[in-house]
Chains A and B, each alone.
Chain A
């Protein structure tokens, strides 16, 4: 699929995501769905169809209109605009991969095992409730809708994992970060992040290893070996990494960190291990050095730029034509089923942290937000198309995930924003329900 990249294409890409960012901040929404939509619009499936429009017939609500052939100053505007459509070029594909790697690298960098162990009791309980209910529901849903163990396993992950990026940003934007509800949210996210690192390792071995557990055993063995090696580096390599990054110039810190992270992720991918998981453990290895603060500050803009490329790529390879009635139905069903489950588990998580009804409800609102990790799982499914899972099923799961994330990211952000209006009603309902059962 990959073709040569012209510089102008990269320019168009970054202008598109920059504009998407402007639009999202104007209407106070999370930026991720807008990046995806920008990718869809600029892809070969929408913009690329324009040159074929003149002379064709378009049906709008029963009225068929023949699009006239127009020329402006001797140029066909449709063809000219359509010429801007972006293909899936090498730059975008590799940029998207770097985006995944950096997202997970940051997760590892900010992942603190001792913190998890220190509050393991509350995080463990809130996280376990979250995992059992949402992963279970997701698995059942996937099994019913897409059929087959692997499809169900992927759907379970897609439904279970909340969006660390969107939730954390919303917490800061709304000022909830200073309230008590931030702790169960961020604590549960830590649990989810650790789980997803392990999950991705297993899922990628299954997807790339042919889908059946016995055939994938070799892949899983390699994956476990690579992960153990990385864990060893994370545990015993601190001194080396510390010296490795000991330099006064930001330029060298950035280059060294990028070099190690992307090289290790690339080697892992070559061995059939998820590059995301490898990046997570590299981040974890760096997290015990003194350079965490520098790395976070220096690499954050890079991460954001490449993450935008990743979300754009997700949209780019999405064919709007895939959203058939049955997939839209599946998305609606998933939203209807999995919004209440996250609300419930978030609420229970809040209660485990000893919060009152109102704040526990806020935890639930926030946790409904799904985002980048669901998409990473979907892109993993794409890489196994035709092997472990039938091509058609992969396309269905992929389209389902993109639609699902578009809805859930906007829904979760909106629930958090309008929380003040919803809370009083919901809390009084809860009280009434309790009194009703109490009598």
Chain B
């Protein structure tokens, strides 16, 4: 998992990421914000360009790769298993929830329940990642990552229970 970073004077920055198959992914971030993504079959091979993306598009691709981007889903209870015991879950902040109107820092969710909130969907807006200053609002959809029992604790905190 080594990442090599180097400066390209007058151009921007270059990041090389070692891949599992011995190849390398090369990302050139231009000063203009444009990203160019290349792949090298091996460390000393020539780079083959895969694609380029504008600053905005690159960030969107990044959030998808990060696993934080999603399209709002209609179901009340969506559950995705990442590995044996880690889940991504979507929760709605209901009108009765006591957490509404309080910031993440105040709520201290990670220490109290063990889950991490990686994104908040608020209407058309996606807050990813939320900062400690982000306040939860009624109607928010929270994306949380945690173990099974952490998620259960978080559900209790939200006061939703398993009503789905």
Contacts A175-B47, A178-B28, A296-B31; is A186 near B38 (CB within 8 Å)? no
Q: Residue on B with the closest CB to A189? A: B9
Q: Is B10 an interface residue (CB 8 A)?
A: yes
Alpha-carbon distance between A183 and B5 when the two chains are bound, in angstroms: 12
Shortest Cβ distance from A51 into chain B, in angstroms? 45
Interface residues of A (CB under 8 A from B): 106, 110-112, 115, 164, 168, 171-172, 175-180, 182-183, 186-187, 189-190, 293, 296-297, 300, 356
Q: Are A186 and B47 in contact (CB under 8 A)?
A: no
Contact sample, A vs B, 26 pairs, CB 8 Å cutoff: A106-B10, A110-B9, A111-B9, A112-B9, A115-B9, A168-B10, A168-B11, A175-B46, A175-B47, A175-B48, A175-B49, A176-B47, A177-B11, A177-B14, A177-B36, A178-B14, A178-B26, A178-B28, A179-B47, A180-B44, A182-B8, A186-B9, A186-B10, A189-B9, A190-B9, A296-B31
Q: Is B6 an interface residue (CB 8 A)?
A: yes
Q: Are A178 and B47 in contact (CB under 8 A)?
A: yes
Alpha-carbon distance between A44 and B46 when the two chains are bound, in angstroms: 48
Please name all residues of chain B whose beta carbon is closer than 8 Å to the beta carbon of A178 when the two chains form the complex: 14, 26, 28, 36, 38, 40, 47, 49
Please name all residues of chain A whose beta carbon is closer than 8 Å to the beta carbon of B6 when the two chains form the complex: 183
Q: Which of B31-50 contact A (CB under 8 A)?
A: 31-33, 36, 38, 40, 44, 46-49
Please name all residues of chain B whose beta carbon is closer than 8 Å to the beta carbon of A176 when the two chains form the complex: 47
Alpha-carbon distance between A177 and B49 when the two chains are bound, in angstroms: 10
Alpha-carbon distance between A358 and B117 when the two chains are bound, in angstroms: 49
Q: Residue on B with the closest CB to A171? A: B11
Interface of B is mostly: strand
Please name all residues of chain A whose beta carbon is closer than 8 Å to the beta carbon of B11 when the two chains form the complex: 168, 171-172, 177, 182, 186
Please name all residues of chain A whose beta carbon is closer than 8 Å to the beta carbon of B10 when the two chains form the complex: 106, 110, 164, 168, 186, 189
The 6 closest A-B CB pairs, nearest first, are A178-B47, A178-B26, A178-B38, A110-B10, A186-B9, A175-B49
Please name all residues of chain A whose beta carbon is closer than 8 Å to the beta carbon of B14 when the two chains form the complex: 177-178, 182
Please name all residues of chain A whose beta carbon is closer than 8 Å to the beta carbon of B49 when the two chains form the complex: 175, 178
Known: A179-B47, A300-B32. 20 other contacts (CB 8 A): A112-B9, A115-B7, A115-B9, A168-B10, A168-B11, A171-B11, A172-B36, A175-B36, A175-B38, A175-B49, A177-B11, A178-B40, A182-B11, A183-B6, A186-B10, A189-B9, A189-B10, A190-B9, A296-B31, A297-B33
